[in-house]
A and B are shown apart, each in its own frame.
Chain A
Amino acid sequence: MANFVVSGTPHVRSKESIQSIMRDVVIALVPATIMGIIYFGVNALILILASIVSAVFFEWLYQTLLKKPVTISDLSAVVTGLLLAMNLPASAPIWVPVVGSAFAIIFAKQLFGGLGQNFINPALAGRAFLLASYPTEMTTWTAPTGFSGADAVAVATPLAQMKGGVFPDASIADLALGTNIGGCIGETCAVALIIGGIYLLYKHVISWKIPVIYIATVFVLSALIGRQGVRMPVHEMFAGGLMLGAFFMATDYASSPVTPKGQVIFALGCGLLTTLIRTFGGYPEGVSYSILIMNLCVPLIERFTEPTIFGALPKVKEAKKA
C-alpha cells in the first residue's frame, strides 16, 4: 500500500493540450485549404504537402541532430508548414516551400528555443525570406483555373490593380469568395477563412480582439484615407491576405501579446501599418510585414500593458485621498 504519488497542486487539469490547440488550428484552416486547392489545382496541393512535410522534417532533423526531445507530435510544425503554403503563389516551384520551411523552422523557431520562444511568426518569417530572395517566383500570380487543365495565365491581384490606380476587375462577391482572382493559395477565399476564424473563436483558441480590431482598423482607415481619392474599404477588407493574417498569423501565441490591452494595441498597430504600406508603401500588400514589425514590438507592448492586479489600484487611489 506504500508508494503514493506526491505532486504539486492542482491535481486536476483541463483536457486542452498544445496538440489539441494546434489540431484546432489545422481544422480551422481546412475550408480555406480546400478552396485553395479547388481554385488553384494540383500544383496548390503539391505545394501544401511539400510545405507541411518539409516543416515537420526540418523540426525532426534539428531536434534529432541537437539531441533534443522530438516534439513533432505537438503539430505546431504542421501548422507552420500549412500556413507557409497558404502564403505562396500557386505557380511557385516545389523547392520554394522546402526552402521556406527550412528557414521558418530552423531560423525563426528552433534557434530561438523552439515552440513558444519564437519572437516572430515562423511562417511569415519564411515568407518574408522567400519574398526577399526569390521575388519572381513569389510574385507570379495566376488565375484560379482549378483542375480544368487550362494553362495558368498570369494575372494581377486586386491589390496590385488598386495600387496601380486601376479599379479592380473583381467584384466584392469575387473577393469574398475568391472566384476569378489571383493571389496566394490560402488567402483568396475570405469566406472560408472567416469560417475557420469563427471556429477558432468558438473553441476559445483565439480571442476576438486581434482579428476583429485588426480588420476593423484596416476598414476604418482605408475608408478615411482612400487611394487617390477613391475609398474602397470593403475591397480592402476582403482583398489580399488580411483575413488570413488577422485570423491565423497575427493571433500566433508566441509572437503576439499575452495581455488583453496589449492585444488591442498590437491589432491597432497591425491595421495601421497594413493600411500605410498598402496606400503609401512600395508593395501592393502589407499584411505580412505589418505583422512582422508588430511582432518585434510585442515585448515593449507587454511591458506597458501588464494587467492591474486584484486589490491593487482602487486602494492606492483611496490612500492618496486620505
Chain B
Amino acid sequence: MFIETAGPAAGIAPAGPAGLPATRRPTRRALSPYLYILPAVVLLLVWTYWPLGQTVNLSFNDWNLIPTKPKQYVDVQKYAKVLSLPELHQALINTGLYILAFLGISVALPLVFALLSRKVQGKARTAYQALIFVPFLITPVASSAIWRWLFAPEGGTIPAIAAALGAPMGNIFRDPGSSMMAVIVIVGWQMLGFGVLVVSAGLAGISPDYAAAASIDGASGRQITWRIIIPLLSPSLVFLSLMTILLSAQWTYPIIDLVTQGGPGNSSTNIYYLLYQFGFRNFDAGLSSAAGTLFFLGFGLIALVFVELSERLSFYDN
C-alpha cells in the first residue's frame, strides 16, 4: 500500500495551491513544507535511521554493551560467526515456518471465510465482525496468560477436552515438538479475525456490477470467484501477504518472550527473538547487530521483489 502510493501520490500533489502563482513572500512559502515535515523527519532520523547506521557500525565491532569498555574492530568476524551458528539456522527455519503458518491463517483462511460468508449482510454481519475482531485487540500479556491457562495441564480446558476425547496431552509449551504450534495458535487466534475483516472490506469494495455482468454472460459462480473477484482482490491479498511476511516475526515476538522464551531448546524461537538474546542475554552487541543487518537486508530485498510483483500482477478496479 504505502510503497505503491509513493509513486502516483507525488504526481497528484502539484494540483494544490502551490501550483498557483506565488505572489507573496516566495522564500517563506518555499520553506514551509520543510518546516511542516521537520519534526517527523528529525524524529525518524534520530530514532530509526541513525540507530540503523549504528547497528551496521556495531556489527563490525566486538562489544559487550558496557559503556566503559572500548569497542574493538573485528571486521566481518561477527558475520562469519553468526552465519555459522546453528541457532541462526534454527531461527531462520522457524521464521519461515511461522510465515507459512500465518500466510495460511491471516491470508488464505480469511479469503475462504470472507468468500463463503460474503452473502451475510446487514446487522448480523456487523455483529459477527465485531466479535471476530476482538482477539486482535488483546494485549500480549493477557493473550499469553489466557492461552497458558487454556492449555494448562492441570485444570486447563483444552487438555481436559483432549483427555475426554481419549487423546491426553502434556504441557504443550514444554515439548519441543509442539511449542511452536502453541505460539502459532495464540498469534493465529489474534490475526485470523483481522485477516477476515480486511479481506471482507476488500470484497465490499468490489462493485457487484462486474459479477452481475459476468453472470448475464453466463459465467458460473466458480468462474466469477476465480476470474473476477480474486483478481480484483489481488492488491489487498498481495499487500496482506507482504505484511504477513515482513511482520510475522514481530507478531510472534511478544508471545515467544512471554510464553516459551524461544524454547525448549530454541524450538520456538524466531529471528528477532534471537537478536534479543544475542544483545540482551549474551551481551554480544556485534553478533546481534550483524544478524540484524542481515535480516534488514533480507527483508528489504523481499519487499522490493513484492513491490515489483504487485506492480505486474495486480489488476485494478478503475
Partners in one complex: no
